[in-house]
Amino acid sequence: MIQGAKTGWWPHALLALGIVTVLTTVYGVWQHFTPLPIADQWDGGIGFYMRALQDPAHAFFEQHNEHRLAFSRLLFFADIRWFGGRNVSLLAGNLVLASALAFTLYRVTLHHAALSCRQKRALAGISMLFVFSWMQSENFTWGFQSQWFAVYLFALCAFHALDLVAQAQAQSNTARSNGWLVAAIASSVAAALSMSSGVLVFAVLLAQALY
């Protein structure tokens, strides 16, 4: 699709469609806003906050079903402690994480492909279109869902960082190679502390390193 977007109006159309998708999703979040906790937020948010006040080390790393939501619990804690527990900061956090995911997807693709300006516009539009699709509306409108964006973001960062390790080693840049390796490991740990599926990131990193 990107190759077909070298000429004509397709790159501009895709970029416009991506922007419209972002704007309509933001509008949808505003329209569906409620300050009340929903479902898992009662125990996973308010209940967690009360436990964190008594034993923060255990509360932040305890299991929620099969997950350990340590990263998202930082957001949950901040929302209740400093923002009145009204979901505003959590919903904004969902949008920020989605934006970071779309931007990272865009940057990683650019790193592996030499694209023209028209193709870059098309790529930006496609990245926004897929990440901000209203098909996952619940992830945007429910303050408890930041972990879904986080696990994909950290996994993508981990895989890309390990790829940059190999490039730095090829250039005999040891300091840069070590830095990217630390970033890859840190991202894999963050993914594991976002959702249970994030535990698999480190295993994929090992396979990627062997390859």
Cβ atoms of 3 and 10 closer than 8 Å: no
**Helix (H/G/I), strand (E/B), else coil: 16:** helix
- Mind listing the pLDDT tens digit for each residue in 69-87? 999 999 999 999 999 899 9
Q: What is the 3-state secondary structure (H, E, C) of 25-93?
A: HHHHHHHCCCCCCCCCHHHHHHHHHHHHHHCHHHHHHCCECCECCHHHHHHHHHHHHHCCCCCHHHHHH
Q: Is 3 a residue whose pLDDT tops 60?
A: no
- Picking from 148, 188, 155, the residue whose alpha carbon sits closest to that of residue 40 is 148
**Helix (H/G/I), strand (E/B), else coil: 151:** helix
- Mind listing the pLDDT tens digit for each residue in 109-153? 988 888 888 889 999 999 999 999 999 999 999 989 999 999 999
pLDDT at res. 195: 93
7 falls in which pLDDT band (50, 70, 90)? low
Separation between Cα atoms, residue 51 and residue 45, nearest integer Å: 10
| pTM listed for this prediction | 0.89
Cβ atoms of 91 and 143 closer than 8 Å: yes
Other CB atoms within a 10 A radius of the CB of residue 102 amount to 22
Helices (H) and strands (E) in the chain, counts: 11, 0
Separation between Cα atoms, residue 57 and residue 118, nearest integer Å: 50
